[in-house]
Amino acid sequence: MTVLRWTEQAVQDLESIRDFIERDSPRYGRLVVERLVEATSRIEVFPKSGRMVPEVGREDVRELIVGDYRIVYRLADELAVLITVYRSSMLFPYHLVDE
């Protein structure tokens, strides 16, 4: 089983998504974040189930698409590091992948 680790950036991304949505609907803000977090659990069992990120083109950088959001992660042996979670309408954050 793959170990899943959240970066500080990914946690902050989730908090920002929740805070933004909660301005209009506190309940929906929580539900969206729960859905995003729940989706990441499949990475632990099936780490390569996410597609390769087209903008990067590397086997080790993958993503899950959940509704309007992209969950980007990097694989290394038995570890998956969640890099960022962001709305798919935004530009890809290349600087986070190169770190």
Return the sign of the alpha-carbon dihedral for residues 10, 14, 20, 21: positive
Q: Is residue 63 domain-resident?
A: yes
Q: Is residue 39 domain-resident?
A: yes
- Strand 69-76 vs strand 79-87: parallel, antiparallel, or unpaired? antiparallel
Distance between CA atoms of 12 and 7, rounded to whole angstroms? Answer: 9
pLDDT tops 70 at residue 99 = no
* Containing structural domain, residue 32: 3-88
* Number of domains the chain is built from: 1
pLDDT tops 80 at residue 85 = yes
Distance between CA atoms of 17 and 87, rounded to whole angstroms? Answer: 9
Q: Is residue 72 domain-resident?
A: yes
* Side chain identity at residue 86, one-letter code: Y
Q: Is residue 98 domain-resident?
A: no
Q: Is residue 81 domain-resident?
A: yes
pLDDT for 18-77, tens place per residue? 999 999 999 999 999 999 999 999 999 999 999 999 999 999 999 999 999 999 999 998
What pLDDT does 94 receive?
Answer: 87
- For position 47, which CATH number holds? 3.30.2310.20
Q: Is residue 22 domain-resident?
A: yes
